[in-house]
Structure 1
Amino acid sequence: MVRILVAGGLGFIGSHLVERLLRRDDLDECLVVDNLWTGCPQNLDHVLDPRLRVLIADVEQASFDGRFDEIYHLASPASPPWYMAEPLRTISANVIGAMRLLEVLAPGGQFAFTSTSEVYGEPQVSPQPESYRGSVDCTGPRASYDESKRCVEAMLFEARRVLGVRVKVVRLFNVFGPRTRVDDGRAVSNFISQGLRGAPLTIFGDGAQTRSWGYIDDIAEALERYFWRDGVDFAGPLNIGNDREISVLEVARYVQGFFPGTPIVHLAPAPQDPSNRRPDLTTARRVLPGWRCAVPYEEGVVRTIAWFRAEMGLEDAAPARAMPAALSAGAANAHRFATSRGVGI
């Protein structure tokens, strides 16, 4: 039987991962450690599995009982407003957290780490393959997140090279969906929460910057397959995301369609906001054959609006409109186009 530790397991992505871990028949115990910095207890309130234990603590300082066969390190904020507000704490959660977790990894155990597309910085190459070393600013305003993720990657691959530690590293691209914090601060969640409050949708800069929006169900499926289900023997790094590239302005206009009369307001550009993000998924398609982001961002937004509405206690309010007809047709066409070309969207 297997003992598993998930650092950051009450967070957005972490809680979805924990749900999937609890489906395993070989699981004896799943310990979640989370300090509730960006995690929320209600993300796992519905889980009644007695194999789940929750420890509220900083991962760097937590006291653990014994060692663990598998460790999943997701203990870090991922939204710029959050990590830029507390950069030293962000670095500590990633780097010191990884060092502490390595101490409690059982001999022969596996250490899995969720890194980020932010390690590519302001990319001069698109799409970005794992071999691309990036165009980064190691002293800039985003460095606490970008560089601490890069440092943990270096730490783990050195532990693999020198000590033989089994590691798996993924680089995630712009994940969104249910259980994102209402005050998360990133584009999709911002637009939805603003629209539900009747507030203007705020874009930093002109909105021409692009992202590749991956719906959480698709991303969690890839993590499950890569980390344990498919028996993959590949250390990474592995890009996981949606390779359909969409501008922030286009997303804002799409969300605006659900909230008639809501204006879009442009604010000053965010510091060092990357101009583009698109994963090269060549390796992912080889390592995880058949996997793709099957949920178009348009459909993902509809599902996320419904979740945010309930989270904000607006179930009795007038519901957001159904997917606008023109946009619905556009989403369907995009889906057919991508499918016909074998492209994950």
Structure 2
Amino acid sequence: MKKVLVAGGAGFLGSHLVDRLLRRSDLERLVVIDNLWTGTLDNLAHIRDPRLQVEVGAAEDLVTDMRFDEILHLASPASPPWYMRDPVRTIKANVVATMHLLNFLAPGGRFSFTSTSEVYGDPLISPQPESYRGSVDCTGPRSSYDESKRCAEALLFESQRVHGIDVRVVRLFNVYGPRTRLDDGRAVSNFLSQALTTGELTVYGDGLQTRSWGYVDDIVEGLERFFWRDKISYKGPLNVGNDREISVLDVARYITTLAPGSRIVFAPPIPQDPTNRRPDLTVMRGVLPGWEAATPYEEGVAKTLQWFREQMEHELTAPVAPGPVRLQASVKRPGPGSASVLAMRKRRRSQLA
């Protein structure tokens, strides 16, 4: 029977992986460590499995006598507005936490890490294969995330080379879907929140920068297969994403068709915003035959919009507790985009009054 640790298990992607892990019959205990920086206990509130143990705290500060057969490290913000607000904390979540968590791996255990397509920087080739070394500016505004992911990868692959540790590293491309924070700040979630609040979808620059949008259910299926379900001998990093490349502007236009009355507004470009993102999935198709990011973005965005709508309605109808208790329960910690959600509440409540 296995003991498994998930760092960042109360977050968007981590909580979906927790659901998948709890389907396993060989699981004795599943420990989640999450400091709730961008995660929320609401993402785990539906679980009643006694094998789950949740610890609130930073992965880099974990103290336990347990040793784990598998460690899944997802404890890092993935949204630029969040990681740029606290770069030192972001670097700790990736680099320091990786070094620390390796101490809790049982002999013969496996360490899985969610890296990112950001390790390719603003790529000069498309699509990007795992062999591409990237074009990253270590002094730029995104460097705390990009470079700390690259450093964590280096640490893990050196641990594999020198100590023989079983390592699984994935490079994720633009994952979206239910359980994303309302104030997440990335393109799809930002557009959906804006469509349901101000009605103005902010496109930075000309919107022609492209991304490869992967719906969470598809991506988690790939992670489940690679991290524990399939018997795999591949030891290198693995691109996981959708290789259908779509511009940010086209996504915004599509969302305006789902939210009548919404419109697009343009803002100055974000510094060093990558011009393109598209995974080369040649290796993935060999390692995980039959896997595809099969959900069209039109379908995935519509599902996510419905989830956002339900979450916002819940915020409107939930009982209001006194002062700080209400803030802790609903907002946890204000971040980028919180103002639009709060504004929506006030406007909708005034309409209902």
Stretches (4+) displaced over 6 A: 314-317
Q: Give the structure with the higher percent helix.
A: 2
Question: Are the equivalent residues in 2 in contact too, given 1:191–1:255 (CA < 8 A)?
Answer: yes
Instruction: Report the equivalent of 1:291.
Output: 291
Instruction: Report the equivalent of 1:240.
Output: 240
State the SS of the aligned residue for 2:310.
helix
State the SS of the aligned residue for 1:124.
coil
CA RMSD of aligned residues (A): 1.2
Equivalent AA in structure 1 for residue 151 of structure 2: C
Equivalent AA in structure 1 for residue 218 of structure 2: D
Stretches of structure 2 that go unaligned for 5 or more consecutive residues are 318-353
Shift of 1:198: 3.6
**Equivalences for 1:260-299 in 2 at 5 Å?**
260-299=260-299
Shift of 1:62: 1.6
1:28-83 alpha-carbon deviations (Å, 9 max, x no partner): 00000000000010101001000000000011112123210000000000000000
1:125-145 alpha-carbon deviations (Å, 9 max, x no partner): 000000000111011110000
**Equivalences for 1:41-190 in 2 at 5 Å?**
41-190=41-190
State the SS of the aligned residue for 1:257.
helix
Instruction: Report the equivalent of 2:196.
Output: 196
Distance change >3 Å, CA 53–CA 316, structure 1 → 2: closer
1:60-115 alpha-carbon deviations (Å, 9 max, x no partner): 11212321000000000000000000000000010000011001101110000000
Instruction: Report the equivalent of 1:321.
Output: none
Mapped to 2, the partners of 1:80 and 1:64 lie a distance apart of: 32
TM-score w.r.t. length of structure 1: 0.90
Shift of 1:315: 9.9
Stretches of structure 1 that go unaligned for 5 or more consecutive residues are 318-345
TM-score w.r.t. length of structure 2: 0.88
Question: Are the equivalent residues in 1 in contact too, given 2:252–2:264 (CA < 8 A)?
Answer: yes
State the SS of the aligned residue for 2:114.
strand
Mapped to 2, the partners of 1:27 and 1:65 lie a distance apart of: 18
Percent same amino acid among aligned pairs? Answer: 67
Mapped to 1, the partners of 2:254 and 2:7 lie a distance apart of: 35
Equivalent AA in structure 2 for residue 240 of structure 1: V
Shift of 1:236: 2.2
State the SS of the aligned residue for 2:47.
coil
Instruction: Report the equivalent of 1:214.
Output: 214
Instruction: Report the equivalent of 1:2.
Output: 2
State the SS of the aligned residue for 2:138.
coil
